[in-house]
C-alpha cells in the first residue's frame, strides 16, 4: 500500500486559508487520495477524495500534482471549528483505508 507523509502539526489564523500538504510518492495509477479529519474523540469525518483531477466540494479543495506524488488539502476560510487532526490516505484496490499519524491543525483566533 502506498504510504503518506504529512507534517505532524500546523497552525493557521482564523479566516485564512489552511493548506495541508501530503506526500504519497509511491502511489499507483489507480489509487485514490482521500482526506478525513477527526475532531477530538469523534469518528473520522470524510472531507474529499480524488484520483487525478483537482476536486472541490462545500468543505474543501483538493489539489493533486500532475505526477500524483503529492497533494494539498485547502480549507479556504479556516474557522476555530476546523481545529482537528487531518488524515491523508491512499486507498488501495481493496477499498481499505490505512490511517497514518495525520496533521494536527490548530486554527487560532
Spatial neighbors of 11 by CB under 8 A, at least 6 apart, are 105, 106, 107, 108
Cβ closest to another protein, residue 35 vs residue 70: 35
Segment near another protein (CB under 8 A); pick from 17-25, 36-44, 54-62, 76-84 = 36-44
Alpha helices, H only, 1-109:
none
Q: Pick out residues in 64-83 that bind another protein (CB under 8 A).
A: none
For another protein (CB under 8 A), the number of binding residues is 18
Give the max Cα distance, the chain: 41
Q: Which of 29, 43, 58, 81 binds another protein (CB under 8 A)?
A: 43
Q: Please, what is the end-to-end C-alpha distance for the chain in angstroms?
A: 38
The phi, psi pair for 7, rounded to 5°, reads -65, 150
Q: Which of 29, 30, 42, 58 binds another protein (CB under 8 A)?
A: 42
Residues engaged in binding another protein (CB under 8 A): 32, 34, 41-46, 49, 87, 95-102
Amino acid at each position: 500500500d502506498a504510504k503518506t507523509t504529512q507534517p505532524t502539526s500546523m497552525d493557521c489564523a482564523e479566516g485564512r486559508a489552511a493548506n495541508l500538504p501530503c506526500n504519497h510518492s509511491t502511489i499507483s495509477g489507480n489509487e485514490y487520495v482521500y482526506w478525513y479529519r477527526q475532531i477530538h474523540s469523534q469518528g473520522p469525518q470524510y472531507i474529499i477524495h480524488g484520483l487525478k483531477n483537482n476536486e472541490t466540494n462545500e468543505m474543501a479543495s483538493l489539489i493533486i500534482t500532475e505526477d500524483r506524488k503529492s497533494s494539498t488539502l485547502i480549507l479556504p476560510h479556516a474557522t476555530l471549528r476546523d481545529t482537528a487532526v487531518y488524515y491523508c490516505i491512499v486507498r488501495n484496490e481493496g477499498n481499505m483505508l490505512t490511517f497514518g499519524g495525520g496533521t494536527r491543525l490548530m486554527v487560532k483566533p
